[in-house]
Amino acid sequence: MPNCKNCGARISKFDADICPVCGATKPLEGVSSETVEITSQIDLNNFKDGQKVVCRRQKLLLFFIAFGFTGLPFYYLKRKKFAILWLIINLAILAASFSLIFFVIKLHIALAIILPILLVYIINSVIGLIYNYLPDLKDGEGEFVN
C-alpha cells in the first residue's frame, strides 16, 4: 500500500482523490506504488556495511586443494575447533604414513616424504570435492554456503 504524501498514512489506491486521514487532495500524486518482486535473487557482489559475508563454494574448494592440511577451509567455514582438529588429523596421517613407508616398507627417504604428502593432498582434495557438492552446506553461523 502506498503512503499519503501529506501525512504519511498508508492508504489504498482507491483513495487517490482524497486522503481519508488528513483530507489532502490527490494524496498519491507523485508517489510510486509499484510492487516489488521479493523472490528475485539478491546481487551478492554489492555488499554494504553491516552485511554478512557469504562463504563461496569455489573458494572453499580452492582452500581444500591448496591449504586443506592446515585446516584453513574450516576456518573459512567459521568452525575453528574443527579446523584445529583437522590440522592434528592431517599431521597424524603424515607421521603415521611416513613411519609406515620408511620403517616398515623400507623405501628410500625421498619416497617416504613425498608419498605421505601426496596422500594428504589427495584426501583433502576429495574432501573438498565432497563439500563442494553437498546440497545444504552451512557455515558455523548457520548461513548457507553459495
Here the cell at position 26 is 490527490
pLDDT of residue 146: 83
Look over the chain and give the mean of its residue pLDDT values, rounded to a whole number.
Answer: 84
Q: Is 101 exposed, middle or buried (0-12, 13-18, 19+ CB in 10 A)?
A: buried
Which tens digits make up the pLDDT trace of 59-110? 999 999 999 999 999 999 999 999 999 999 999 999 999 999 999 999 999 9
Contact 104, 111 (CB under 8 A): no
Half-sphere exposure of 119 (CA within 13 A, CB side): 18
**At how many degrees (to 10) do helices 80-99 and 109-132 cross?**
150
**Is pLDDT larger for residue 40 or for residue 120?**
120
Global pTM reads: 0.61
**Is pLDDT larger for residue 145 or for residue 116?**
116
Contact 25, 18 (CB under 8 A): yes
pLDDT of residue 26: 81
